[in-house]
Amino acid sequence: MKATMNARRAEALRRYLPILDWGRTYTRSALSNDLIAAVIVTIMLIPQSLAYALLAGLPPEAGLYASIVPILLYAVFGTSRSLAVGPVAVVSLLTASAIGQVAEQGTAGYAVAALTLALLSGGFLVLMGVLRLGMLANFLSHPVIAGFITASGILIATSQLKHILGISAHGHTLPEMLTDVIFHLPQINWITFAIGVSATAFLFWVRTSLKPTLRRLRTPSLLTDILTKAGPVAAVIATTVSVWAFDLAEKGVKIVGAVPQSLPPLTVPGFSMDLLGALLVPSVLISVIGFVESVSVAQTLAAKKRQRIDPDQELIGLGAANLGAAFTGGYPVTGGFARSVVNFDAGAETPAAGAFTAIGLAVAALALTPLVFYLPNATLAATIIVAVLGLVDLSILKKTWNYSRADFVAVTATIVLTLGLGVEVGVASGVALSILLHLYKTSRPHVAEVGLVPDTQHFRNIHRHQVLTDPTVVTLRVDESLYFVNTRFLEDLIQSRVAEGSDVRHVVLMFSAVNEVDYSALESLEAINRRLSDMDVGLHLSEVKGPVMDRLKRSHFVDQLNGRVFLSQYDAWSSLVPSPAPHVAA
């Protein structure tokens, strides 16, 4: 008994602390691979972290702080072997939008609001994980998420034009930002513009052409990967040295300035009820969007190595990471697509790679921050633009148009609302549209009239196959669970089918695809049974699944059914169809 209890405790610990699972089998080979991956990801993360902090409206060091303790905590609580946690573009944009409504950028209240947002987001994620609510992410359809991320990428890139041009411009929507940029164009700083355009062009070349060039030169693969990921670092070094050497800050080029040379400090979020109330809804939206993006990346990478992740434990891991950010000077974080792919491709085998990355970033925060004093904001803006344009996928419009007009409408609406009204409206509309799209599709379930395939015991759609039918028997295969949204549709369909002629004597509902019948659907079935009884038409069921049948038996429906319940549709056909043999439906 005691051994069993100890085994259960150990299992519970491994569930909530996955490090106890992979840590037991950690090898020297894994250590070597994780260290190499950490070096590559650290090189990539240094300029990215600074840039995303700029996008969130926070001091550049906040990006570094948000990339240290959160990564360490995820390594302890997360289940993905390759996911790299930290600031990402979309969450940074959502953060700026949320806290910009409660505090002015550059003030202490703005930083406190960012910490509070991370606290609320982390708490919400942990709560969802403990309650095992990871499945809630399924309520966001992939096309809607793709539309939102595409629109967010366009917004983010547009928001950085002011730094590329060296002008002062504001706005939260695409029309506002473009209008303000055009209005301030006469104030353009041409030196800043030259730096921004050059950095952007160089980073695009690094992303698209550097790796093929190095391969043609037969550069070793590891060195190729390091040089490719170090592209942003090269841009940072070149533009920083240029600003310092030519004293371009005196000529109007905006620079990062002094960055504290320290490890992440201990910070305290705000706990005022007004602040918590104002940030509650944005924190929920950020949590959901961040989790969906993170778990999608984690599952994709895990599948490539035949590994698995636990979505509920991922919620706890990401929640712990956000709570860590809240108390160490950061802001909301999640698993990033680009850095996770880099981590995976670099050979990371365990979450320890993330821990080594955090150590590398801590060294950078201690030793390298004085070197970014003259780093121009235009270079950080170029880093953001090149990173987020990879998120823009307008092909989703063509794909959904060709495949499903309902999905196309949802994607288009999400993109238009996000661009026109802002990211928070875009997120909320995306959630609402996902749910409405599901309700719309299930409100009109696919119900096929089926007949017997000759010389078999199989039944198929009479409009797609040559099958045997009989005018006195109508068999309807219901291809959807029945619940309050779609019950009236089934009632109307049966009523119209029976009313077509007086020859129908039996209606068989084939329930092979029905997994659930809620109480509203039960009442609807009872109403159908009464109406058919009044018309002297029998109502029968076939191929009812066990759990559905158990629930129907708990009511009086089966006892009051004016027909029979058949184990198979062929049994129903054999019992109800009279001789001679029926005719063939084309």
Please, what sign has the CA dihedral across residues 156, 157, 163, 165? negative
Instruction: Tokens for 585, please give them.
Output: 């439906």
Domains of the chain by start residue, with CATH = 29-435 (no CATH), 447-585 (3.30.750.24)
Give the pairing of strands 467-469 and 583-585.
antiparallel
Q: Where does residue 345 rank: exposed (0-12), middle (13-18), buried (19+ CB within 10 A)?
A: middle
Which 3-state string (H, E, C) describes 371-435? HHCCCEHHHHHHHHHHHHHHHCCCHHHHHHHHHCHHHHHHHHHHHHHHHHHCHHHHHHHHHHHHH
Write down the pLDDT at residue 301.
82
* Cα–Cα dist 173/419, whole Å: 6
Distances (CA, A) of 443 to 181, 481, 546: 46, 10, 24
Write down the pLDDT at residue 339.
80
User: Mind listing the pLDDT tens digit of every residue in the chain (586 residues)?
Assistant: 555 555 566 566 666 788 887 778 888 888 888 988 888 888 888 888 988 998 899 999 999 999 999 999 999 999 888 888 999 988 998 899 899 889 988 888 999 999 999 999 999 999 999 988 877 666 667 788 888 888 988 998 999 999 999 998 888 889 999 999 999 999 999 999 999 999 999 999 988 888 888 888 888 887 887 788 777 888 989 999 999 999 999 999 999 888 888 999 999 999 999 999 999 989 998 998 888 888 878 887 887 777 778 888 999 999 999 999 999 999 999 998 778 887 887 788 888 999 999 999 999 999 888 888 999 999 999 988 988 888 788 888 999 899 888 888 888 988 999 999 887 788 778 778 777 877 787 788 889 999 999 989 999 999 999 999 988 899 999 998 998 888 888 888 888 888 755 688 999 999 999 999 999 999 999 999 999 998 999 999 999 999 999 999 888 888 899 999 999 999 999 999 876 556 666 5
Write down the pLDDT at residue 488.
86
422 CB-near residues (< 8 Å, 6+ apart): 97, 172, 173
